[in-house]
Structure 1
Amino acid sequence: MNPEKEHWRRGVEASVIYNRLHGDLKVPFTYRVPGGQEKEPDHEGEGQGGEGEGAREVWPASLAAFPLGQRIADARRHYARGRLDPGRIRQLEALGMIWSHRDVAWEEGLTAARGWATENGHLLAPLDAVYRGHKVGIWLKNARADTRAGTLAPERCEQLEDIDPAWCPTWPVEWQRAFHLVRRHLDAGGTLQIMAAFQKPLSFAAFSAATVARADRCAVRSEQFAAAARGELETVVHEVLPLDGAVLAHQKMAAGEVFGRIVLTP
């Protein structure tokens, strides 16, 4: 009997059972197959059997104490060095093996993002958003930063755009989130109170940013910043009032009498 092949066979057997229990092969490095009446630990090392349930089914005595976590880590290392047999690669991939720790982190983040979007209808999560323990708001913030820096792989951008085409606007995320909420309110039959100043006969073009190529949107934004640097942009000032006119300024805005900005001067 070939000891190495036998060790591999036991590793595959343990992997199959672990995958059946957990749905993946994200095995902690210190994980060993439980034996006797030990409970099956979850990814945080706590039993999943629940109080009074005793040991979970499944693990044969022949696999007790098998170092599955170390075995999976060894397989990843051999794979990275090009030393893992193609047949063995196929065996592990069929069980959901992810070869890179970064890929594992990405898949976990993507799953959390997809779940959050399903519950909220969009992928414009605030920074403190959490989905089942995963800090999805921070994860999305980092993904946007990588996208704007051009370091996020195109296929990963596509994965996020499939969830929400407007997940990474070139303008503030807060504005896009508010826009989504307003649109959802209107789609549900709600109404908006439009200020009188905006009911003047104006002609403008409206379009969906999702229909414009990202490179074109970036080019427009760059030109806007350049125009601002050249002093070519002007703020529309409706009226200038003294500082003690703050109450009046709020009243004018509430009455819809303002088109532009009200400036308060000391």
Structure 2
Amino acid sequence: MLAQFMRLRVINPEGAYWRHGIETAGRWLRETGNTVLRVPYTVVTPEDWGGVGGYPLGQWIAEQRRAYTARTLEAGLVPGLERLGMVWSEQDAAWTGSPSPSGTPPPAATSSPRPPQPGTGI
């Protein structure tokens, strides 16, 4: 998997590499029915996806997040990712209840009241 990722980076110049990632992310959204880009790191697109088959999408998404956090992601690229529903921080998304990778929101953190304990008054 790492070899695929490195081959894509060495063979494709940065602009073509980024466009390929965006194209693959759009296809992933269409194929999965998700509305946000919360792609597990290990996701590699199926080979039968043609020109975007076998692409290490999870690694590409993680790289975009790292660059965004480090403020090294070219500002002009951010809107394209945001239009696709990029989740910039998995941790923030978990706290805000953003949709999960399956497209459904995570279970709400609820605390149901404990039943009173006999003889304790609580």
- Indicate whether the TM-score tops 0.5: yes
One-letter amino acid matched to 2:23 = E
Where 1:91 maps in the other structure, the secondary structure is helix
**CA RMSD in angstroms, aligned pairs only:** 2.6
Paired position in structure 2 for 1:24: 36
Does 2:70 correspond to 1:86?
A: no
Matches within 5 A, 1:186-205: none
Structure 1 residue aligned with 2:86 = 97
Q: Structure 2 residue aligned with 1:63, among 52, 55, 64?
A: 52
Q: Which amino acid aligns with 1:35?
A: E
Shift of 1:133: 9.1
Residue 13 of structure 1 is aligned with which of 23, 26, 37? 23
Change (3 A) 1:111 1:72: closer
1:110–1:4: structure 2 CA closer, same or farther, 3 Å change rule? closer
Structure 2 gap ranges (5+): 1-10, 114-122
- State the 1:140 CA deviation: 3.4
- What's the % identity of the aligned pairs? 37
When residues 33 and 135 of structure 1 are mapped into structure 2, their CA distance, relative to the original with a 3 A threshold, is: same
Gaps of 5+ in 1: 37-58, 113-131, 142-172, 175-266
* 8 Å contact from structure 1 (residues 18, 24) kept in 2: no
Which letter maps to 1:93?
Answer: E
Return the structure number with greater relative CO, CA threshold 8 A, min gap 6. Answer: 2
Check if 1:72 corresponds to 2:42: no
Measure, in 1, the Cα distance between the counterparts of 2:88 and 2:39: 12
Whether the 8 Å contact between 2:26 and 2:84 is mirrored in structure 1 is yes
Instruction: Look up the equivalent residue of 1:64 and give its one-letter code.
Output: G
The 3 A distance-change label for structure 1 pair 9 and 104 is same
Greater percentage in strand: 1
| Larger Rg over CA atoms | 1
Distance 1:2 1:65, change over 3 A: closer
